[in-house]
Homo-oligomer: A and B are copies of this chain.
Amino acid sequence: MKQNLIFTNDVENAISHLIADSNHNMTVCIADVNTARFALGKERLIVIPDGDTGKSLATVCRVWDALEEFGATRHSLVINLGGGMVTDLGGFAAATFKRGMRFINVPTTLLGAVDAAVGGKTGFNYNGLKNEIGAFSPASDVIISTRYFDTLPIQELKSGYAEVIKHAMLDDRDEFLRLLEHDFNAPINHDNLLEHLRHSVQVKVDIVARDPHEQGERKALNLGHTVGHALESLAMQRGKPVPHGYAVAWGLVTEAILSHIILKFPSEDVHRLGNFVRDNYRGFPFTCDDYDDLLALMHHDKKSRDGEITCTLLATIGDYRIDQTVTPDDVTAALDILRDHLGL
């Protein structure tokens, strides 16, 4: 589970070095319809659909068939160039073709850079269930850059930024406070953002290293997601989907409130986070009439056991506690405070 992380905005150079240092007989790039234009042009190219509906077994088979057709072997190299869908699905296809080829990830979205591309989770949707089939199989190298972010929709940037905030909440209050100073209306300061990414990714890497197969401590990374996933699923069911990171942002505030109720997490930090989310992640589309449905979704979360609602909570920024059981009343109270804070 060793993963080489390269932080650079000179991606071509980093890839060229990786290829020159290795002994591969062929390089194949997997990209989606949006990211194919970023390919270096020297590799063979497999273009797959974008979006979650294309994250299917049929697409995996297309990748296997193309690898076959190119004559790729165990000594070939795959480059996954794209967002989380490309790195998840391309990683799975590469990890299983001839029982595994080397692959490197080049995430092109902020969310991909701080979450999907690092840590070894690969997979695809099956029978309508997200990431139902997959493997823990890390990319040998991940090249993390901000150079693809200038053309990202602002919603995409904000969505990824929620995970950056999450990582800081698990680790370091100074970084957390610096992140909340961010202004999404200003042009991207690439050097600055790359530094934040370096910090953020390291938090995930350290936690994953201690628990590669999600047996325990890795659940820390679930901060904000017990509530966030329920909000995301309900929005999807209602036909009004919200970006994953927006749901996570609302989930982070809700679970910070729960942390305050249960573990005396400082209200000062709840407020700072709540203000940032209120100002930047508008559009929370729920009322108190939705609480029963949200609680039902939390009960069915794949990480919960025995029908209890469990979250990762914080005693302070950086001091996390996994497997915290929360009652429906606690959740209801926290959602009330959240809605109040967001001015709903």
Contact = CB atoms under 8 A, between A and B. Distances in A.
Contact of A99 (B61, B68, B121): B121
- Give the contact-size bracket for chain A: 20 to 34
Given A64-B126, A65-B127, A127-B68, A302 B98 contact: yes
A135 B213 contact: no
B96 A134 contact: yes
A323 to B, nearest CB: 14
Contact of A100 (B61, B100, B213): B213
Contacts of A214: 99
A136 interface: yes
A134 B73 CA distance: 13
B65 A135 contact: no
Interface string A114-126: 0000000111001
Given A65-B127, A68-B127, A126-B64, A100 B135 contact: yes
Nearest to A73: B302
A100 B136 contact: yes
A109 to B, nearest CB: 22
Nearest to A65: B127
A99 B215 CA distance: 12
A59 interface: no
List 3 A-B pairs, minimum CB-CB distance, nearest first: A99-B134, A96-B133, A96-B135
23 contacts: A57-B61, A64-B132, A65-B127, A68-B127, A68-B132, A73-B302, A74-B302, A75-B305, A95-B135, A96-B96, A96-B123, A96-B133, A96-B135, A97-B133, A98-B132, A98-B302, A99-B122, A99-B131, A99-B134, A99-B135, A99-B136, A99-B214, A135-B135
Interface of A: 57, 61, 64-65, 68, 73-75, 95-100, 121-123, 126-127, 129, 131-137, 213-214, 302, 305
Given A96-B135, A97-B132, 12 more contacts: A64-B126, A64-B133, A65-B127, A68-B127, A75-B305, A98-B132, A98-B133, A99-B121, A99-B133, A99-B135, A99-B214, A135-B135
